Amino acid sequence: MIASQVMAALSTVIEPELHRDIVSLNMVRDLTIQGDTARFTIVLTTPACPLKNVFLERCNAAVIGKVPGIQKLEIQWDAQVPTDRRVSGRLNVAMKNIIAVSSGKGGVGKSTVASNLAVALAEAGASVGLIDADILNPNIPQMMGLGAGRPKVVNNKMIPIQAHGVKLMSTGFLTEPDKPMIMRGPMLHGAIRQFFTDVEWGQIDYMIVDLPPGTGDAPLSLAQSFPLAGAIIVTQPQEVAVADALRSMAMFEQLNVPIIGVIENMAGDFFGTGGGEKLAQQRNVNFLGRVPLNAEVRKGGDYGRPIIAHMPETDAGRAFQGIAQNVAARISVLIMQSPDFIPLNIIG
């Protein structure tokens, strides 16, 4: 009787981003009553969720003093990333969400953002993969502190190389550093597809795909061949970068790929501030965060030490942590608002 009253009280607690109560979302598990204490688990939609204190306050406000006999809540925390069911249905791989990281022009720090985002999500407890889809000019191995070593092959599948808790695949592992990659469009398409289907990724919550800049073959192949949870647009603050970022965004919109949001990189006196945020406002998409111009970010990329792992307490490190939380939250909203969403208690 008391347990049902506690559940009824918890059904008034609203998930801030999904705007539904935590009971109907099946986020409340394993409720037990012992004396004056209610114990239960809240299953978050991402281990990167920043809202634990919000849930704690709202649950206490809903139950304590409202349900007779209950004076204390003991809440355990778990996380279960929602699954984009189109991925397993079409690719037969254990990936829950594929996220494209794109930019309109080169030199805006897109690969830096992709690598730090992947590491931040992994440090939060998610299983993360990172595909370097800039086939012709792969930078991810260097940025993640890896050389040109070859991945092992087991049962005709490559085993991804790991760094900073992230599973990686790149043509940088398959070629000599001083040898150019020369490919036409169909070969690029085949290489990107192989990174999904011919690699033993295991279970992946978030697959981050670092695309080459622009609106050419690689982003088109990815968007047309694989069900993307969404695309992240990276830009510098200045107008010329924002104009190119707009073209990249428009391409994904034309291909019916949701825009997760915009990240403004290298913000500060030299490049200015606010261009990325203005773009997000104009296009009515989420502004995911601003990374300040910081020499340590550049050094981290050069020496294979992503700043989120090497210097997390810097302004840039904290910015990437906040961006990872915003990305994970936005992915949860997009997936759970889709008509194919399956409630959390039966998601594998």
- Statement: residue 145 has pLDDT above 60: yes
Name, in order, each residue with C-beta under 8 angstroms of 128's C-beta and a sequence gap of 6 or more: 118, 119, 121, 122, 165, 166, 167, 204, 205, 206, 207, 208
Are residues 301 and 336 both part of a single domain? yes
pLDDT, residue 346, reads 39
So what's the pLDDT on residue 328? 95
Is the pLDDT confidence value at 184 over 80? Answer: no
pLDDT at 86: 79
Same-domain status, 11 and 39: yes
- In the DSSP assignment, the letter for residue 200 is -
Q: What is the pLDDT of residue 134?
A: 87
Where is mean pLDDT largest: 122-126, 132-136, 175-179? 122-126
Do 197 and 318 reside in the same domain of the chain? yes
Q: How far apart are CA 322 and CA 45, in angstroms?
A: 16
Q: pLDDT above 90 covers what percent of the chain? A: 66
Look up the domain containing 32 and give its range. Answer: 2-79
Q: Say if residue 340's pLDDT is above 80.
A: no
Q: Are residues 100 and 73 part of one domain?
A: no
pLDDT reported for residue 348:
34
pLDDT at 183: 53
Q: State residue 155's pLDDT score.
A: 92
**Residue 56 pLDDT greater than 90, yes or no:** yes
Query: Looking at residue 54, what is its pLDDT?
Result: 93
Residue type for position 10: L
- The CATH number for 43's domain is 3.30.300.130
What would the two tokens of residue 137 be? 């000019």
Same domain for 262 and 321, yes or no, is yes
Tell me: pLDDT of 163 over 60.
yes
How does the average pLDDT of the chain come out, rounded?
89
- Given 79, 114, 140, which residue is the final one in a domain? 79
**337 φ/ψ sector (left φ>0, alpha ψ -120 to 50, else beta):** alpha
pLDDT value for 345: 47
- What percentage of the chain has pLDDT greater than the value 70? 91
pLDDT score at 223: 82
Question: pLDDT tens across 201-224, in order?
Answer: 999 999 999 998 887 777 888 888
Q: Does the pLDDT of residue 141 top 60, yes or no?
A: yes
Domain boundary among 33, 64, 79: 79
The last residue of one of the domains, among 47, 79, 111, is 79
Supply 8's token pair.
């009824």
